[in-house]
Amino acid sequence: MRKLFIRTLALALCLTGTAQALRAQETTAAQTAAAADQRPKTINEMRQERGLTDTHNLFVPKGQWIFGGTASYSTHTNKGYQFLVIEGINSKGYTFRVSPMIAYAFRDNMALGGRFIYSRTLLKLDNAELHFGNEETGTNIVARDFYSLKQTYSAAAIWRQYIPLGRNKRFALFNEMSLAAGGTQARFANDSPVKGTYETGYTLSLGISPGIVAFATNNMAVEVNVGVMGISYTHTKQVHNQVTVGKRNTSMMNFKVNIFSIGLGMAFYL
């Protein structure tokens, strides 16, 4: 009986020590978790909370190629048209713009690539009259035989980040940053005998264009973006009648929505 009692007492003491050790481990783990909650969160931890770096919110997987672009074409013809104080407008012209794009997803929901932009604008004005006041005492300005042709071209390096809308696989937001450089050519002529001006120049710009993408099929998507911020520098050289030379330098920093930069295009994710 005495041996059985001693064995039972030893077993009870062992169980008591084990329970105390487990409680001590739980207390240490709770203190560690509390200390982790009290320390400041890192940038990566905050990004994970927003879902920007959550691998589960996958929209564009790593290794995917993206091909796309935008294109637009418009024409106009005026015959005897009147606009406010401008009368007898006889003109015709067109505007053409194309912007192909290629990118590669170097990591999930992020892509690097390039974009090329070309635009061409033509205006032929046969006649237009500007009237201020009445016919007897007013001022009349007449423009005839005016011709304008302008071409712009640029290449840009782009970086894109896609932000999925929750777990949605069809719609997502994206932000596109671009660093572009390009040139311009323009010709202006009017009057008879003809007086002409020729312009050349170059442009450097940095821009941000957020947008939204919607997949119509598994590989084809429709994209809409708009420029909201940009920094640009432009240098222009002008030669008038092959004699007079003029130069112009302009710089601009824009922090507002540019409604003229709204783009609607197609993209293929392969």
pLDDT of residue 256: 67
Residue 13 has pLDDT above 80, yes or no: no
* Mean pLDDT confidence for 221-244: 82
The answer to whether residue 203 is domain-embedded is yes
Residue 238 lies inside a defined structural domain of this protein? yes
pLDDT of residue 181: 93
Give percent above pLDDT 90 in the chain: 10
User: Is 196 within the bounds of a domain?
Assistant: yes
Does the residue 221 lie in any domain? yes
> 49 Cβ partners below 8 Å, 6+ apart?
41
pLDDT at 103: 93
Domain count, the chain: 1
pLDDT the model gives residue 102: 93
Q: Which residues, 6 or more positions from 224, have their beta carbon under 8 angstroms from its beta carbon?
A: 211, 212, 262, 263, 264
Mean pLDDT rounded to a whole number for the chain: 76
Average pLDDT over residues 99-118: 90
Q: Is residue 124 part of a domain?
A: yes
In a domain, 50, yes or no: no
Question: What percent of the chain has a predicted confidence (pLDDT) above 70?
Answer: 67
Does residue 106 lie within any of the structural domains?
Answer: yes
pTM assigned to the model:
0.67
Residue 24: pLDDT band with limits 50, 70, 90: low
Model confidence at 10: pLDDT above 70: no
pLDDT the model gives residue 215: 87
- HEC string of the chain? CHHHHHHHHHHHHHHHHHHHHHHHHHHHHHHHHHHHHHCCCCHHHHHHHHCCCCCCCCCCCCCCEEEEEEEEEEEEEEEEEEECCEEEEEEEEEEEEEEEEEEEEEECCEEEEEEEEEEEEEEEEEEEEEEECCCCCCEEEEEEEEEEEEEEEEEEEEEEEEEECCCCCCEEEEEEEEEEEEEEEEEEEECCCCEEEEEEEEEEEEEEEEEEEEECCCCEEEEEEEECEEEEEEEEEEEECCCEEEEEEEEEEECCCEEEEEEEEEEEEC
**CATH number, position 203:** 2.40.160
pLDDT for the residue numbered 163: 84
Domain that holds residue 113: 59-269
User: What pLDDT sits at residue 27?
Assistant: 59
Name residue 231's amino acid. Answer: I
16 belongs to a structural domain: no
| pLDDT tens digits, 43-72 | 666 666 655 555 567 888 888 899 988 888
> pLDDT tens-digit profile of 168-225?
778 888 888 999 999 988 888 876 666 778 888 999 988 888 888 888 888 888 888 8
